[in-house]
Amino acid sequence: MNKGKVWINLRDSFWFLPTIYSILSIIAVALTALIDQWIISEYKSNIPSLFLTKSSVAQTLYGSMVTSILTMTTISFSTIMVVLTTYTTQFSPRTLQDFMKSRVTQHVLGVFSFGFIFSLINLFLLGKEPGLGLVSPLFTVIVSIICLAFFILFIHHSSRFLKVNNLIGAIRKSTSTLITKTFKEKNYQTATEWDDKELQALDQSKAHVIAAEKSGYVQNVQYESLIKWAKNHTLTLETSFLMGDYIQKGMPLFYYWKDTDQELSNPQECTAFVLIGNERIDTQDVEFSIQKLVEIAVRAISPSLNDPHTATNCINRIGSLLIELGSVYEPIRYYIDDDDELRLIAQPKSFEEYLYKSFYQIKIYGYHDISVMNGVLESLYKIAAMHDQAVQEDVWTFGETIINAVKVDELDELDYKRFNNEVKKLAKACNKDFTLQKQ
């Protein structure tokens, strides 16, 4: 099994950090037991009585510790359920990932697991000799204080996550980090253009097919491993998917061309470098991260919530992310090995596609709200003002669909004036001569 895929599954698992803490708690029990046996037997007479506890007191302490941690854990899980319910009904089901995969949430439950297992095992191993001095209860007191501190931290963390503005800010920050990570300098060579003669030699009719072994969403692609695999087998690969696409079992996942007509003995090996799961995740999928903000905005402008200010906030953050994306975006299509040989061809998502997926649903559901449409036009204006002509052309193409979606004839004078100002700003930023007509 591919180690990278295993690590991604473990890292994203909700049980990963609590399991690590549980293992550490067992190690801590063993260490404290050894310290008790060694230090107490050798230096008991020199240790202040303040740090020594009788087994009866320790037993009461451990029992109380187990009960209190169970209570805090129960309250924490109840809080988690409240947060998840709120996210599902008011924000978006896709935002559940952000709270459940939050390191604060997982570290808190990990600390609770540590304290519970540590106290429970110590209670089980506690000797019944009434005069035995113990040092481990002192460590238990420290653990209990830490658990209390993390419980307070979790309550504060949960209350902040329930505020939609904080959630929007957290998604924007994580997406910004993902954009930087996606387009940073790689350990392998990439290119946006390649020799046409070499590409023409890759006849599609002579391509061999590697089919998908399971259905699901493309969650992660290990490009460096694919390049090495293609180099080791002296072939050229081409993907038939985009990041975040839903793949059907048996459909082509890769096409490949080999120097000889002989087919590979086990071409399915390369499918191990593509992680396919039941849902989209945001480890490499920039579009999915932006989609979370889109869904919050669409939910906010629905008649059930009627919160256009939240929608506008989401639109502003989406605009900021598209500005960041436009400044680093490269349509990387070709991946090259160390010998400057083409090994992988992957269709990139265009900036126009990112732009369309960011605003088209907002256009569909928010065209009747002039404040929302003004917010979209303002974001488009900022994107165009900060980028070159290629981006400006994409922005204007989509901007026209936004302008056409608004029923200008039904606007009153003040709304029309404000909307017309936004249209003029966008047209000027895109170097277009456009006049809004109202019949």
- Segment 135-157, tens digit of pLDDT: 667 777 788 888 888 888 888 87
Q: Within this chain, do residues 152 and 251 fall inside the same structural domain, yes or no?
A: no
Neighbours of 377 (CB within 10 A): 23
Question: Is 217 strand, coil or helix?
Answer: strand
60 falls in which pLDDT band (50, 70, 90)?
Answer: confident
Separation CA 115–CA 70 (nearest Å): 10
Decide if 53 contacts 60 (C-beta within 8 A): no
Which residues lie below 8 Å from residue 114, measured CB to CB, with a gap of 6+?
Answer: 21, 22, 24, 25, 28, 143
Q: Name residues whose C-beta falls within 8 Å of residue 221's C-beta, 6 or more positions apart in sequence.
A: 239, 243, 273, 274, 275, 284, 346
Same domain flag for 335 and 374: no
Provide the percentage of residues in the chain whose pLDDT is more than 90.
16
Say yes or no: 86 and 151 in one domain. yes
Residue 357 lies in a domain: no
User: Whose CA is closest to 100, among 206, 189, 13?
Assistant: 13
What letter represents residue 188's amino acid? Y
Of 279, 277, 230, 267, the closest CA to residue 93 belongs to: 279
Domain of 305, CATH number, reads 3.90.1170.30
The verdict on 157 and 197 lying in the same domain is no
Minimum mean pLDDT range among 250-264, 293-307, 330-344, 383-397: 250-264
If one compares 46 and 167, the residue with the highest pLDDT of the two is 167
Residue 163's pLDDT band (cuts 50, 70, 90): confident
Ranked by mean pLDDT, the top range of 80-94, 199-213, 423-437 is: 423-437
Range from 69-73, 104-108, 182-186, 381-385 that averages highest in pLDDT: 381-385
pLDDT above 80 (res 426): yes
Look at the alpha carbons of 337, 282, 310, 158 in this order and tell me if their dihedral is positive or negative.
Answer: negative
The strand pair at 342-345 and 334-336 is best described as antiparallel
Among 297, 317, 349, residue at a domain's last position: 349
Query: Tell me, what's the pLDDT at 130?
Result: 47
Give the tens place of pLDDT for each residue, 190-235.
888 887 777 777 877 778 888 998 999 998 888 998 999 988 888 8
Are residue 218 and residue 344 in the same domain, yes or no?
yes
pLDDT at 129 over 50: no
Same domain, 71 and 196: no
pLDDT at 176: 92
* Identity of residue 287: E
The answer to whether residue 173 is domain-embedded is no
337 and 217 both lie in a single domain: yes
129 lies in the same domain as 225: no
**How far is 113 from 34, CA to CA, in rounded Å?**
22
Residue with tokens 């996942």: 253
Whether residue 168 is contained in a domain is answered as no
On whether both 8 and 154 belong to a single domain, the answer is yes
Q: Of 112 and 323, which is predicted with more confidence? A: 323
Statement: residue 133 has pLDDT above 60: no
Among 303, 320, 349, where does a domain finish?
349
Tell me the two tokens of residue 395.
């922005």
What number is the average pLDDT over the span 130-135?
Answer: 52
Query: Is 176 among the domain residues?
Result: no
How many structural domains are present in the chain?
A: 3
- Name the more confident of 373 and 78: 373
Residue 429, domain extent: 367-439
Phi, psi dihedral angles at 350 (to 5 degrees): -80, 160
- Residue 169 maps to a domain: no
The answer to whether 357 and 287 have CB atoms below 8 angstroms apart is yes
Query: Could you tell me if 340 and 378 lie in one domain?
Result: no
- Establish if 177 belongs to a structural domain: no
Residues 385, 345, single domain; the answer is no
Residue after which a domain boundary falls, among 316, 349, 382: 349
Instruction: Please report the pLDDT score of residue 127 as a whole number.
Output: 55
Predicted pLDDT at 317: 93
Residue 358 falls within a domain, yes or no? no
pTM confidence score: 0.76
- The span from the CA of 19 to the CA of 26, in Å, is 11
pLDDT band (50, 70, 90) for residue 71: confident
Q: 232 in helix, strand or coil?
A: helix
Asked if pLDDT for residue 38 goes beyond 80, the answer is no
Q: What is the mean pLDDT of the segment spanning 357-376?
A: 90
Instruction: Give the least confident one: 6-20, 169-183, 306-320.
Output: 6-20
For residue 262, being part of any structural domain is answered with yes
For all residues of the chain together, what is the average pLDDT? 82
Question: Do 110 and 144 have their domain in common?
Answer: yes
Query: pLDDT band for position 356 (50/70/90)?
Result: very high
- The pLDDT value recorded for residue 322 is 93
| Greater model confidence, 100 or 149 | 149
Select, from the ranges 35-44, 103-112, 153-162, 401-410, the one with the highest average predicted confidence (pLDDT).
401-410
